[in-house]
Amino acid sequence: MKIILASASSRRQELLNRLTESFEIIISDFDEESIKFNGQCDSYVMRLAEGKALNVCQGINDEAIIIGCDTIVSFNGKILGKPKDENEAFDMLKLLSGNTHQVYSGIAIINSKTGNVSRDFVCTDVKFDNLSDDQIKRYIENGEYKDKAGAYGIQGYGGIFVEEIHGCYYNVVGLPLNKLSKMLRGMGINL
């Protein structure tokens, strides 16, 4: 059966490639602003993931499995999205410095023929080392913070900030492989 990843993220594409090399990319143009944060990170990321998957599903005529995913960073009940500029990135990293934050990924899988939907989420605790202003500024200068929730990429240079991780590493990268694999098997897809 055809598998479609509803994401422009090169990180998600690379990770899904570990489960199967046979998938298509259709980028969702779902309006994430249409989903209001209700204070519950788990339900919020699942609704975002489902919105992306449904958006792509509407344009599919063949039978396919569509995978939608969304990842957010949360600290003290506040969502830290993708920073709009260097100043916002600095503020986010300063906030995370010396603290533990949560990374949530929601996954939604839709069978375009049956309409069956499977939703779930993963949460990982990430503890940052104490960061100096100079460390943060050097990191921002390399540009890695761009297009990253919480202004860092654990799989890149940002990984040196991480003192501890409790939970799924791949969740922090953007696609929790173990959870996705279980969900696909639950829908009869064995990769």
Cα–Cα distance, 73 to 84 (Å, whole number): 15
CATH code of the domain occupying 2-186: 3.90.950.10
Query: Tens digit of pLDDT for each residue in 13-24?
Result: 999 999 998 999
Instruction: Give catalytic residue positions.
Output: 70
* Amino acid 112: pLDDT: 94
* Amino acid 22: pLDDT: 92
Positions in the chain short of pLDDT 70: none
183, 187, 15: which is closest to 7 by C-alpha?
A: 15
pTM: 0.93
* Amino acid 191: pLDDT: 77
Phi, psi (deg, nearest 5) at residue 38: -100, 10
* Amino acid 54: pLDDT: 96
Could you write out the three-class secondary structure of 130-143?
CCCHHHHHHHHHCC
List the domain boundaries for the chain: 2-186
